[in-house]
Chains A and B, each alone.
Chain A
Amino acid sequence: MAANNRIIPRGPLRSLALALLLLVPTMAGNLAAWVTLLFLVSLLAKFVMERRGVRLRQVWLKALMAAAGFTAVVLSYGSWRGIEPGVSIVVILASLKILEAHTARDFHILILVSWVLCLCGFFMSQDLAVAICVFISFLLLLTGLIQFHRGPVGTMWPALGTASKLALQSLPLVAIMFLLFPRLSGGFGFRFLNRGANASGFSDHLSPGSVAAIVDSPDTAFRVEFPGGKIPSPAGLYWRGIVLWEGNGLEWTAGSSLAQARPNSRAGGEAILQRITVEPHGERWLFALDSPLAAPAGATLMRGRYLRSTTPISSTRRYEVSSSALRELELSPRERSLSLQPPAHVSPAVRDLVQSWSAQNNEPQAVVKRALEFFRKEGFVYSASPGAYGSGALDELLFHRKIGFCEHYAASFATLMRVAGIPSRVVMGYLGGQWNQFGKYFLVRQSDAHAWCEVWLPGRGWERVDPTSVIAPDRINVGFGASAQRRAASAGNQGIAGEPGWIGARVSTELWQNIRLGWDTVNFAWDTHVMSFDAEAQQAFLTELPIADANPGSNVIWLLGLAAGLLGGYGLWISLKTRRRTDAARAIYERFCRKAARLGAERALWEGPGDFGKRAALLIPRHAQSIGQITNSYIALRYSREPSESLLKVLGRDVQSFSSRNSGTD
């Protein structure tokens, strides 16, 4: 390609630009806006520059721009470590390369850099939609490369066809590699940890508004399948996340004394087996239906019967856990003292309120009942945006504003119980979820985040008390999203988050809902079968195969063998398909000519079959008759309008016997 080495042809450049545009959605929203903007501007500028023949040549200018970009990244993220700054730097360097590229070699480098950008896309988002974007982009990059190598005639569509063919042919190879290529588990120094940490509604600290802050998020928290076949009813599913032991008014924390649970309980009721797939959130929380019986591998069952991963969850995590209603038989002294620790400051009004409950009946159960009565009857309002609470929040909530979200009520209830001398704690987790009938799983979103309270009742153990259930029963029965939707539907025609307003009709809403569920199913399948196919999953898969004895060495041999076989097969197949098709009649006649030549009658290049037949008959008189037959058959096959198949057989037989008679007589 020395001849057109000086410029990048427009066609391939256009495919490249299209591929890069498809990568923008992976950046937008994840990277700082100016990085994406810079990328788009340089892409645009490249087209203007190419048309005018402008080049970015000065090394000092390039170095200056790179340094400026690096500095800007550090300034806007505060660090250059971590995934966003890292990807930002890659994007900036790619933008500079786009501006600079002007030779054939540069084009190749650009394509390779774009493939690295594709890779970055997968670190920005684990979503299937992003993956589809990335793979279309991948295909377009292939197209650009093919166009580029086709030279000046490289238009897009034929190249896209070739690229698709190439991609399709490589699919089996990809599958084999994906299944057999040895995966490593661990052993690497660095990992991106902060990915998605802020997406979770969780912290080990509950304060007013901390749950309400994330209920607008449509992000998936986790999905739950039921491999045991026993599927609980969707209403009132409490997913236990973390237990907060230390409370002070409306502020609760997990406390510093993390400890493992003691096996002092008995199961009540049937256990439900769940397979839970948690989206990465960068922390250690794991979720399970209330309450988990035992911790899965890589996790611990903590005091308060919640799961905690031993390592931060930086990529999709799957685990199986069984849950059932539990009765803890006794409260350890440590737990008792923890769960009775009263708030530092209790106002006289609160103390009076609590005393009014226990005045009539000192039984804990009666007190709990009275407290719930209080929340039900005193006109409390359930709202995701209750406004901020300052100091003296508890009094403000209980006696003045009377508006709050689940965390307000759970925290205040637990605090009130402690004031009343009843051991209590706050549990954070999720409530409800959406049943996906296509994939047979529950989808639990961030918007399902919830907080509730647990009190210790003598003889009954820890009992869940959810004050939200008496204030907003809807929330418990249909979930926050649905209850919000119901409210929104009455207020206007705005749907739930993410749903376009123009789909107003109920039928299309249902259809839309189904499409969303179906899409989520595919997304989930992508997540479980591709994204989180790791060393463990591979091992599990391979042990089911008869080929390998779970030995990585033999896997590699299998991989290489299958890949080589596939490639060889392709080569053979393509070469057979594209080989020159010599027609059968001609092949047979050429064989006759070779035989005749051996007998002394060589056909000259310009000689037609008729002429040659006459000459050959004269030269080999003893075969004159068969020569005549063969010649006539061949001419008939060649030049008649509809040559018959049987004639071809006759010709074949004649030529065959021409040889045998010849070998017989000679």
Chain B
Amino acid sequence: MSGRACPSLRPTKHAAGLLFVLATMWYAGASQNNGAAYLLLFALSAVALVSLPHTLLNLTDIRLTAGSVKPVFAGQEGSLPVEISNGSQRARHACTLTLPETGVAPELVPEIAPGKSARVTLQFSAVARGEYEIRELRLASSYPLGFFRARKWVATRQRYLVYPKPTGELPLPSGQRRSQGSFENLPGEGEEFAGVRAYVPGESQRHIDWKAVARGQPMMTKQFAAETDQVLQLDFATIPFPAAEQRLSQLALWIVEAEQGRHLYGLRLPNLKISPSSGEVHYHRCLQALARYHWNGGE
């Protein structure tokens, strides 16, 4: 993801001040016929002009590598880790990185040594649930003199999910007691070892069967049976709120509570059904369903 687009260059508000000072110098030099005043005028304007290619080049040969954005709940801060690497032979100074679409405050990287890279985490606020995409990053710098600002847009495709804000007053619905016989069929995260399944990247590494990995087997996640035998059915339709968003928020709260309580829980949305389970993967799957849910008017 290296920027190929040509950087834009424009004067900053300090350039107006500079212009005023230059005009003063010109007037003084011309009216007094003072050669030294002219010399100062030319020195200042030449330095400002020479700073122009320096400003532009301060952004060249910089590679941006964006990491993935972890899903967040609405109202929280999302963060995008970006690695800025300097592929040139000259240090890069005072670059600011921002997400132009979110209006996030620019993050300053004071210096990147030649051949080195720096890591920056861009914080942005996730306002509403949904699926979003960061399309571009903006790299800017007004180094060295601050009279001109070079900006460069770097395309990226970082999708991220914002889960509904977990709020609501309703208590967690009481679950149905599960028959003892079907216990083995519902593996989840509990105390008792219940078998292994393939590791899903991004999952917590806490339960990886490292002994098996050491034996040369692929990575597997150990699964444990849930602590309780309660099965909670979290159903969109049963929530007595009129607004869909409110219902989704309530569902999100329930999911969080159920996961914390290590219950087995299933989710039922008008167009989707997730069978009861527990654990991190299941938890995120449920929340993702909520984030992506589209209300199409009426149940």
Contacts and interface: CB of A to CB of B under 8 A. Distances in A.
Q: Are A and B co-members of a single complex?
A: yes
B28 A178 contact: no
Contacts of A150: 93-94, 110-111, 143
A530 B30 CA distance: 14
B39 A178 contact: yes
Given A112-B17, A123-B37, A153 B110 contact: yes
Interface string A517-545: 00000000000001111100000000000
B88 interface: yes
A192 B143 contact: no
A574 B60 CA distance: 11
B58 to A, nearest CB: 10
Nearest to A175: B42
Interface in A177-209: 177-178, 181, 183-185, 188-192
B170 interface: no
Contacts of B35: 530-534
A580 B61 contact: yes
Contacts of A581: 89
A122 B47 contact: no
Contacts of A532: 33, 35
A575 B60 contact: yes
A167 B105 CA distance: 33
A177 B47 CA distance: 12
Nearest to B43: A174
A170 B34 contact: no
Interface in B110-143: 110-111, 114, 142-143
A115 B108 contact: no
Contacts, number: 164
B30 A183 contact: yes
Given A108-B14, A150-B110, A578 B61 contact: yes
Contact of A178 (B38, B90, B111): B38
A119 B52 CA distance: 23
A115 B33 contact: no
B146 A108 contact: yes
Contacts of A570: 50, 53
B38 A131 contact: no
A167 B42 contact: no
Q: Provide the main secondary structure of the chain B interface.
A: helix
Interface stretch (A141-149, A357-365, A647-655): A141-149
The size class of the interface chain B forms with chain A is: 35 or more
Contacts of A162: 144
A530 B36 CA distance: 6
A169 B50 contact: yes
B75 interface: no
Interface string A618-634: 00000000000000000
Contacts of B234: none
Nearest to B45: A177
B145 A142 contact: yes
B44 interface: yes
Contacts of B14: 108, 112
Contact of A185 (B20, B33, B93): B33
B87 A166 contact: no
Contacts of A580: 61, 87-89
Query: Which one of A1, A134, A580 has the highest number of Cβ atoms from chain B below 10 Å of its Cβ?
Result: A580
B213 interface: no
A39 interface: no
A534 B29 CA distance: 10
Contacts of B110: 150-153
Contacts of B105: 2-3
A497 interface: no
10 contacts: A2-B106, A3-B105, A115-B40, A119-B40, A123-B37, A135-B43, A149-B145, A150-B110, A170-B49, A174-B43
Interface of A: 1-3, 108-109, 112, 115-116, 118-119, 122-123, 126, 131, 134-135, 138, 142, 145-146, 148-153, 162, 166-167, 169-171, 173-174, 177-178, 181, 183-185, 188-192, 314-315, 530-534, 563, 567, 570-571, 574-575, 577-581
The 8 A-B pairs of least Cβ separation, nearest first, read: A571-B53, A170-B46, A188-B31, A173-B46, A151-B110, A578-B90, A177-B42, A122-B36
